[in-house]
Amino acid sequence: MPPTPLRSADEIRQAAVLLPKGCYFEDFEPGRVFEHHWGRTLTESDNSFFSTMTVHFNPIYFNQEHAQSLGYERCPVNPYLVFNLVFGLSTEDLSELGGAFLGVDDMVFEQPVYPGDTLVARSTVVDRRNSSSRKDQGIVTWHTEGLRKGQRVIHFRRTNLVLRKNAA
């Protein structure tokens, strides 16, 4: 069988089918649960790179002897990397369509995460309300949890402006 001929970038773009992603304000019924797909395994390199790039030079994240002297089995993953990872896992379902990020509240780191751990995320719609200043958007709050083997390691509430269907 002969190999498939290479296609130009223009041919690929023309053949591409855009799939809708994200949800609108009306899709976020309080109580609805989103089991975010993918998950991500954290590595020692992720931890070192993130801690270095954010100038977070706490030796607990890169000095095993220091971490063990504080009671850790080995260097834990920087908790702000854990937060960013879990937050990122939730964006496709919750805020892919855009809208201003309004903040995070009540963040709790429950357990240390170690290189080699795989995290998944789950979010529950907590509240949805109209925006008084932006008629084409509403305000949604979710409770997002980061889980390792079914056990929660982090959780927080996040709020975004979310586009309404009739404004799309």
At residue 32, the pLDDT reads 97
- SS3 of the chain: helix, strand, coil, percent, to 5: 30, 35, 40
Residue 78 and residue 138: Cα distance in Å, rounded? 33
Mean pLDDT of the chain, nearest integer: 93
Averaged pLDDT for residues 100-114: 96
In a domain, 7, yes or no: no
Classify residue 20 by its DSSP letter.
P
The pTM (predicted TM-score) of the whole model is 0.86
In a domain, 151, yes or no: yes
In a domain, 49, yes or no: no
At residue 168, the pLDDT reads 61
Nearest to 145 by CA among 93, 108, 115, 118: 108
In a domain, 123, yes or no: yes
At residue 7, the pLDDT reads 80
In a domain, 38, yes or no: yes
Domain limits for position 123: 23-43+76-167
What is the number of domains present in the chain?
1
Residues with Cβ < 8 Å from 25, sequence gap 6 or more?
Answer: 128, 137, 138, 140, 162, 163, 164, 165
What is the Cα 116 distance to its own chain's centre?
A: 18
Residue 107 and residue 83: Cα distance in Å, rounded? 9
In a domain, 154, yes or no: yes
At residue 159, the pLDDT reads 97
In a domain, 68, yes or no: no
In a domain, 90, yes or no: yes
Classify residue 25 by its DSSP letter.
G
CATH number at 134 reads 3.10.129.10
Residue 102 and residue 156: Cα distance in Å, rounded? 13
Q: Give bridge partners of residue 139 from the DSSP assignment.
A: 129, 161
Which pLDDT band, with edges at 50, 70 and 90, does 93 fall under?
very high
Averaged pLDDT for residues 116-139: 96
Classify residue 125 by its DSSP letter.
E
Residue 140 scores a pLDDT above 70: yes
Residue 125 scores a pLDDT above 90: yes
